[in-house]
Chains A and B, each alone.
Chain A
Amino acid sequence: MVGGRDFDVGHSREHYRGALLHGDGPAHAYNARDLTARIAPDSMPLPTTLASRRRLCVALTSCVALPAWAQFRVEISGVGATQLPVAIARFRDEDKAGPNAALSAIIRADLERSGQFRNLDVAAAFDETSQPSMSEWRGRGADAFVAGSVSRLADGRWDVRYKLWDVVKGQDLGGQSLAVVTADLRLAAHRVADAVYERLTGDKGVFATRIAYVTRAANRYTLRITDADGEGGQVALTSVEAIISPAWSPDGHELAYVSFESQKAVVWVQDVASGQRRQVANFRGSNSAPTWSPDGRQLVLSLSRDGGTQLYSMGRDGGALKRLTQSNAIDTEAVFAPDGRTLYFVSDRGGGPQVYRMPASGGNAERVTFAGAYNISPAVSPDGRTLAYVARLGGGAFRLHTMDLAGGNVLALTDTNDDESPSFAPNGKLIIYASRAQGRDVLMTSTLDGRIKTRLLSSGLDVREPVWGPFNR
């Protein structure tokens, strides 16, 4: 079972491989049935012109129609985005591993969605033992080349192998072998994409991470978990009452969330793999806005048990309750800075709601946002340098912004009017957030400069409350 308790996305090849070799038993993290028909290799991004330059200035919106239930579509806007041209060959025998196994298509789609890569067409057959001509691929404009294969192991699992070449330097950058059960073939493809991404950009990839969000359809609320590409969706909780504010535990095993199933806001923590859940806060009044400390031992949340909405901390199982704020105002939406020492939160102690910060154990709060009368829903980047939040503008538009915490510079990332709930990818390169388009609640991702956005396509569902899971799963 990939995604088991002790799995850690290691950098080291041995660890990586070793963890995947545990891949037996019930696949909690994946459900093969859900994957069927969601992968559409013939609808992947069209190959770009072979005569293109090493670095392409993108000034267009590329729209790729994908007939999937849920998938992120790339919408590149603005100018000057640089993209690395990569050639990813079809993995030898990838079609023999069943409908989940369009590995090269999944890898290509992952890299394309990051906004940092552009896929070149590869017509000829290659695998990881091939000797692709570097000069030929240089001539065709590729910076990197990936080839691989899928083969069945004696125990029924699949051996996914790949190799990466630096075409510009004419260098073999090595490869990996991943042994996985059938249900984890998509995960294997995401892990290959992560390895390629990390090798070529120097940053860890997030393709093998997961996202949680809430959908609403026909008055039914569903807390869902999907791969970072929006596929492989599974249901964690379904209810006729609202579910809001999901929050991943730092180990990626649990989700805290607010459910109104008992006709009031109660905070639950649910083990994702087993479905076991427990109430951690059901005090008098409302219980909401849970967030985990980076070490996973504590939850901070908003309670009205003593009147007003104030911040409290508690142990992960609900014990050791401690009040953190003592204001007559609303204090809510707390999040930890990655070092665990500071809490960012929303308070209207100065009139309208603004983002403040204070020591994680409580104490003097310092105002962080100043522009505008209404700034809510803070999220701190994994490096602690950037604050994402939603600001209400003069005309009543709610728009995703970032603030450089050292310099205080503020940037509007979107031109939409109903942005909500920003959450950083664990590598800090993307922000996922909720917005509205064509009368529906939708999920979007944006790069930190706002230039490259993707939208989760989901037919007929209102989608909201996204939260990006950690590297661990």
Chain B
Amino acid sequence: MKRLPLIFGALAVTLFAAGCSSPVKLDDKSDVPIESRTPTPAGAGGAAQGAGQSQVTTVNVDKSATTSVARIVYFDYDSYVVKDEFRPLIESQAKRLAANRNQRATIEGHTDERGGREYNLALGQKRAEAVLKSLTLLGVADTQLEAVSFGKERPAVQGSDEAAWAKNRRAELKDR
């Protein structure tokens, strides 16, 4: 199994979720313990307040149940069909989840920036549900999964061209 990437990814995603304004760079990781003076437990909300440079938020990797590595399925414009190229990803994830009934996962659907926020939220939901359905057809229990949507509210990439849009039309599978 991909142990190391998983843990590292969890760390990066947790830092991001803790309120940094941009994804954590690999180089920054080493700075975290060195600068630590007044560690704040994760979840205390300290980092979300926009703390100064001395502030360090302790990341508890054990607790990062909601922030494991994302597995991403990309979609065509205005489509929620899971393309064949993502079959291997879906199959391997289905196998993994079916083998561990206690593992729960969230599938987050996303759209590109074009169109209304609410309609895009519903489109993203459709994408997430398409992935959910693919997984359940391969033996994952429905109760292990939740499909949710962020619509166009959380783009992976900034930009208003097809390259950015293509990266944003996606569904992310995240363990929790």
Contact = CB atoms under 8 A, between A and B. Distances in A.
Interface in B35-58: 48, 50
Nearest to A396: B114
A244 B118 contact: yes
Interface in B135-173: 146-151, 153-154
B129 A304 contact: yes
A376 B151 CA distance: 15
27 contacts: A218-B21, A219-B21, A242-B153, A244-B118, A244-B153, A260-B153, A264-B149, A285-B125, A285-B147, A285-B148, A286-B122, A286-B149, A288-B118, A289-B121, A302-B118, A304-B147, A308-B129, A330-B123, A333-B116, A346-B118, A346-B119, A353-B119, A376-B115, A376-B119, A390-B116, A398-B116, A421-B117
A244 B115 CA distance: 14
Interface of B is mostly: mixed
B9 interface: no
B126 A308 contact: yes
A398 B125 contact: no
Contact of A244 (B106, B117, B148): B117
A302 B122 contact: yes
Contact of B148 (A286, A308, A330, A332): A286
Given A244-B118, A289-B118, A377-B118, A265 B148 contact: yes
B119 A286 contact: no
B93 interface: no
Interface of B: 19, 21, 48, 50, 66, 106, 114-119, 121-123, 125-126, 129, 146-151, 153-154
A353 B146 CA distance: 25
Contacts of A220: 50
Contacts of B154: 242, 260
B123 to A, nearest CB: 7
Contacts of B149: 264-265, 286, 304
B162 to A, nearest CB: 12
A369 to B, nearest CB: 13
Contacts of B122: 286, 288, 302, 304, 309, 330, 332
Contact of A307 (B19, B123, B129): B129
Given A260-B150, A330-B126, A286 B121 contact: yes
Contacts of B146: 264, 284-285
A298 to B, nearest CB: 19
A117 interface: no
A333 B118 CA distance: 7
A394 to B, nearest CB: 14
A85 B35 CA distance: 65
A240 B153 contact: no
Interface residues of A, number: 37
B59 to A, nearest CB: 16
Contacts of A336: none
A218 B50 CA distance: 10
B148 A264 contact: yes
Given A219-B21, A309-B126, 6 more contacts: A304-B149, A309-B121, A330-B119, A346-B119, A377-B118, A377-B119
B80 to A, nearest CB: 10
Interface string A283-294: 011101100000
Nearest to B120: A376
B134 to A, nearest CB: 14
A332 to B, nearest CB: 5
A218 B119 CA distance: 25
A209 B50 CA distance: 33
A387 B7 CA distance: 52
B115 A398 contact: yes
A392 interface: yes
Interface string A375-406: 01100000000000010100010100000000
Nearest to B145: A284
B21 A332 contact: no
B118 A245 contact: yes
A165 B108 CA distance: 62
Contacts of A390: 116
B87 to A, nearest CB: 22
B138 to A, nearest CB: 18
Contacts of A263: 66, 106, 148
A11 to B, nearest CB: 36
Contact of A288 (B19, B121, B129): B121
A396 B123 CA distance: 18
A240 B51 CA distance: 14
A420 interface: yes
A309 B120 CA distance: 11
